[in-house]
Structure 1
Amino acid sequence: MSRSIMDIAGSVQALDPAASAAAAEHLDRLTKPPGSLGKLESLAVKLAGITGKVQPSFRHRGVVVMAADHGVCEEGISAFPAEVTPQMVLNFLSGGAAVNVLARQAGAEVMCVDVGVNAEINHPGLISRKVRYGTDNMISGPAMSREEAEAAIMAGVEVVEDAIRRGISLFVTGEMGIGNTTASAALMSTFTGIATLETVGRGTGINDERMRHKVLVVERALELNRPDLSDPVDVLAKVGGLEIAGLTGVILGAAAHRCPVVLDGFISGAAALAAQRLAPESVNYMIASHVSQEQGHVYLLKALGLEPMLHLDMRLGEGTGGVLALHLVDAACRIMSEMATFESAGVSTGAETGKEGSETAGEAQG
């Protein structure tokens, strides 16, 4: 490879402080009490810092659905068989999955990437970046080699860069891979030190007995492989997944090119932890769309220092929560570009009448 992962990680820069400050100032001049639009205002400031533009817009956006299989499915940790992964990839490609429906509503392009599905898939719409046919069973040894993990990360970077050349300027993370909540729990426990009892969730909807077994599987994988916390690529290789490594590359690639990346759920969050460890500044380019029902997700977002915008009790994955959050991104952008200022609308700020007058003006608008 002509470029290394550290080259990409090293190119992730801090947000533009001047643009962030200008956006905050503009928001305070709009016809509303300061801060009254809540998270939409903080999102607008963040988008300005990411892009360097006070009034950004994202006409072309893409959902990157990374797909791969997991050898740990041999341990019976999922309610669905591994054959569902390639079947769902074909569903994405035919436009029939939930993420396709929601992406059409949000005006986003779905890009389905085979980075490690354990089957041959031939479709003109598929982006083929297959590193290998699924991971190995991580309770018998590393899920993959270091070189394979690196190749999957760089595949994610390359998908983003290809999309940017086509005009896409905002990315949503999505995934498909039966068994990937197991790998994500192992990654989260390694990166955060949080016990497996709190990081392992029900995934596809397993019962209590299978849930206890899943916890033991993750614990055995961690004991056997002893992933090196100081080396995020080692962690991904030993207990991760090809699609999770691919999403790590998507996040790094987006951040390196100053593009926002909207995180979906728990699996996307595990990739975000890896990206943050590789490039600490990358977290500033991440937008947390929602908090899922997977029990570890709330703790994972806290570890990243991100606040979710939506609480919808979702646990589907695919990028569905991330795509729904695009409507809020659009709302923040339109507030910045279309809402009148006090000066342009000839509206009093209430400064002359003091605090009481300002509050009354706010209530009148509410």
Structure 2
Amino acid sequence: MSVDGWNTVLVLGGIRSGKSEFAEFLVADAPMVRYVATAADISTQDEEWAARLEAHRARRPETWTTEETAGDPRRLATVIAAAQPSETLLVDDLGGWVTALLDPAHRPADDTATITELAEAVRSCPARLVVVSSEVGLSLVPTTPLGRAFADTLGTANRAIADAADAVALVVAGQPSWLKPTPPTRAAAVPAQAMPAGALQKNAAGPAAEHSADVAEPALPEVLTPSALPSSAGPAGDNSTPWSSMTPPVVATGLAIQPGMELPMPDEDAGSQAMERLVTLDLPGAGFGGLDRLVGFAAATQGIPTPAPWGKVRVLLVHGDHAGGTAAGTTSGDSARRVRDTRAGRGALARLAAEAGAELQVVDAPSAGPIETEPALSPDEVESALQHGWRLAEQAADAGVRLLVLGACGAGTDAAAAAVFAATAGAEPPAVLARVHTDAGEYDDAAWMVRCAAVRDGLHRSRHSPGSAKDILAELGGGDLAVATGVLLGATARRLPVLLDGPVGVAAGLVSRDLAGQSRHWCLLADHGRHPGVQLAADVLGLTPLLDLRLDLGEGANALVALPLLRSALALAAALPTHPSLDVEPDDARPTTGDAGPTTNSAGAGRDEPDEAGSTDEAGSTDEPDPVEPTADEPDFREPEPAGPGPTSTEAESTTLDPSGRRAG
């Protein structure tokens, strides 16, 4: 669900308020939704009702299934209670359910007991559940007994379900307002670890078994089984992957990824509207600071002015070792050990993924050769790795993922990324290569010099290379960088934002920019960690880090530390209303002809406009004449005169500045 920490949501709204569309948006990230229709199908008797039903059906994706309960109102509680934790249900709506409940054909029935039964089913529902209902409390009391019975029963049902649900939203004119705040995130929201039984036995005998019995083990992330790397024959011989309609034709037809690809761009209008809305929120402080860029980015990539916090998040950890001098100072087999620990739910990345409720997928990339003496990969291996990364992004989008976190792990990845920085941005290797840390936490400057020499020799060896994006990946980058580049391109094609972290991610951003310039607009950098190469690449890509935490926990782990803060900022921006002083009065509430009242400036603050009969003293105050009723020969309005001197005046400005101090947008 797009709302973090909530398992059951009640969406209220009036007729044509947009409540159904908002409820469908809340479950849009689910791979499959069970749509529970409560209204009876009377389309053969009412053409207008048939058109309404058809509009609802047309909005549902093909992956959704529909279930009807109008024939037996009590069955709705049974369906909700029997739902599984992995399911997502959308009930639309309680008004249709109450109509069926009051139908004499279903008598005798105890309305109160049935509503209580439904509320208990919602309260104990383990699945993700969104219930839609009409708000009848704001209308007049119906004049007929049947109308009053319907309003009373539906109002009682709304109160019972609102009390049982985790969250309640009221939709007015398409704008949601959260009535019930979010509860603390439940531990059950973190999916269980999927691993072989042998791995569980091994973990029980490992260091975790030495912990005290009264210390609870933290929840493990959902570690996905990685898909197999395609053969080096390239995508032309592999047409088994179901490509989405969003996929560019050059890939859908099996052709190789080439420079100049036309991929989607984020919605700039939605991003601008979100930024303008931020400065009008009812905040006691000055605003969101540097996180305003986060809200604008989320709005542009989601295509809505009020973006929702990212629901389903998947971490892609690309593992690929590099041979030769680029891996100087690393312990042999250490990266393989870290990958095993990650797959078993241990280590910083796995623990942080569990805390964030994110899926974790470890991706094995081809090992790279020593760049100082030979190319890192063959051209066929580069093509295969690019396509593999693209398909990983496709699989994530098809699974309902709303945000990808790209990380990397492997011997020599830092130096390989520095080589890419030097080849694409013209940087000097020593300026973009971070110092080497030993296992004891000390600096190994001798290993750092070996890495610098390897990068220098690799650049010299490949100096006659054409220098295209694929050439750089083949000569200097390696398999992990090629897979990461494919992930960025595939995510761009599916309009899936990516949170970058570390040198491999931003190096892949530089390479993907040369293949499709749109890709960098779908990337977000949470923190540069004071890494010199990441700072340079971020400047080149135009990615301003949101934070400056100076973390160096490993690629992907730094982003997961920042993820809860980013989600909280998005949730706050979506939930806060506009400041009361900036509310615009509707047309029917404005003064009529002959009524005197203050005008409203562009910021929404009231002020008095002097007309041509008014005067201004030296202190800047304005004396307004009494309002005069318009005559038959006089129009109902008068063009206001400017308060200050015009462009041809030589008189000094006498009006003081507005001392209100409100933020301006």
TM-score interval, smaller chain: 0.7 to 0.9
Provide the identity percentage: 28
Match of 1:200 in 2: 433
Q: TM-score normalised to the size of structure 2?
A: 0.48
- Unaligned runs of 5+ residues in structure 1 are 117-133
Match of 2:315 in 1: 63
Q: How far did residue 183 of structure 1 move?
A: 0.5
1:176/1:91 Cα in 2 relative to 1: closer, same or farther (>3 Å)?
same
In 2, the alpha carbon distance for the partners of 1:33 and 1:12 equals 41
Match of 1:301 in 2: 538
In 2, the alpha carbon distance for the partners of 1:227 and 1:43 equals 41
Match of 2:411 in 1: 178
Q: How far did residue 318 of structure 1 move?
A: 3.3
Q: How far did residue 80 of structure 1 move?
A: 2.0
Q: 3-state SS of the aligned residue for 2:660?
A: helix
Q: How far did residue 284 of structure 1 move?
A: 0.9
Match of 2:282 in 1: 31
In 1, the alpha carbon distance for the partners of 2:375 and 2:468 equals 14
1:345/1:76 Cα in 2 relative to 1: closer, same or farther (>3 Å)?
closer
Q: How far did residue 331 of structure 1 move?
A: 2.4
Q: 1:273 aligns with which of 507, 510, 519?
A: 510
Match of 1:212 in 2: 449
Q: 1:263 aligns with which of 479, 500, 503?
A: 500
Q: 2:605 aligns with which of 351, 359, 363?
A: 351
1:13/1:34 Cα in 2 relative to 1: closer, same or farther (>3 Å)?
farther
Residue pair 2:327, 2:411 contacting (<8 A) in 1 also: no
Deviation readout 1:328-360 (Å, 9 max, x if unpaired): 33123213321111249979978347653235x
The amino acid across from 1:351 in the alignment is: A
Residue pair 1:66, 1:114 contacting (<8 A) in 2 also: yes
Map of 1:145-160 to 2, 5 A cutoff?
Answer: 145-160=378-393
Q: 1:22 aligns with which of 243, 268, 273?
A: 273
Q: 1:85 aligns with which of 316, 330, 335?
A: 335
1:258/1:32 Cα in 2 relative to 1: closer, same or farther (>3 Å)?
same
Q: How far did residue 188 of structure 1 move?
A: 0.4
Q: How far did residue 242 of structure 1 move?
A: 0.8
Q: Which has the higher contact order (CA 8 A, sep 6+)?
A: 1
Q: Aligned residue pairs: how many?
A: 342
Residue pair 1:190, 1:227 contacting (<8 A) in 2 also: no
The amino acid across from 2:492 in the alignment is: A
1:7/1:223 Cα in 2 relative to 1: closer, same or farther (>3 Å)?
closer
Match of 1:115 in 2: 365
Residue pair 1:172, 1:262 contacting (<8 A) in 2 also: yes
Match of 1:100 in 2: 350
1:294/1:24 Cα in 2 relative to 1: closer, same or farther (>3 Å)?
closer
Q: How far did residue 269 of structure 1 move?
A: 1.2
Match of 1:120 in 2: none
Structure 2 residue 497 is the aligned partner of structure 1 residue 289: no
In 2, the alpha carbon distance for the partners of 1:111 and 1:211 equals 30
Q: How far did residue 203 of structure 1 move?
A: 4.2
In 1, the alpha carbon distance for the partners of 2:332 and 2:516 equals 32
The amino acid across from 1:279 in the alignment is: A
In 1, the alpha carbon distance for the partners of 2:256 and 2:482 equals 11
Q: 3-state SS of the aligned residue for 1:29?
A: coil
In 2, the alpha carbon distance for the partners of 1:187 and 1:76 equals 12
- Unaligned runs of 5+ residues in structure 2 are 1-234, 237-250, 585-599, 608-656
Structure 2 residue 245 is the aligned partner of structure 1 residue 12: no
Q: TM-score normalised to the size of structure 1?
A: 0.85
| RMSD after superposition | 2.7
1:198/1:227 Cα in 2 relative to 1: closer, same or farther (>3 Å)?
farther
Quick check: which has more Rg, 1 or 2? Answer: 2
Residue pair 1:292, 1:312 contacting (<8 A) in 2 also: yes
Match of 2:483 in 1: 246
The amino acid across from 1:337 in the alignment is: A
Residue pair 2:280, 2:582 contacting (<8 A) in 1 also: no
In 2, the alpha carbon distance for the partners of 1:59 and 1:103 equals 13
The amino acid across from 1:61 in the alignment is: V
1:304/1:76 Cα in 2 relative to 1: closer, same or farther (>3 Å)?
closer
Q: 1:144 aligns with which of 356, 363, 377?
A: 377
In 2, the alpha carbon distance for the partners of 1:136 and 1:320 equals 27
Residue pair 2:377, 2:474 contacting (<8 A) in 1 also: yes
Match of 1:128 in 2: none
- Moved >6 Å (runs of 4+): 344-350
In 1, the alpha carbon distance for the partners of 2:449 and 2:258 equals 41
Q: How far did residue 209 of structure 1 move?
A: 2.1
18-27 or 221-230: bigger deviation: 221-230
Deviation readout 1:276-315 (Å, 9 max, x if unpaired): 1211111111101111243322112111111112222223
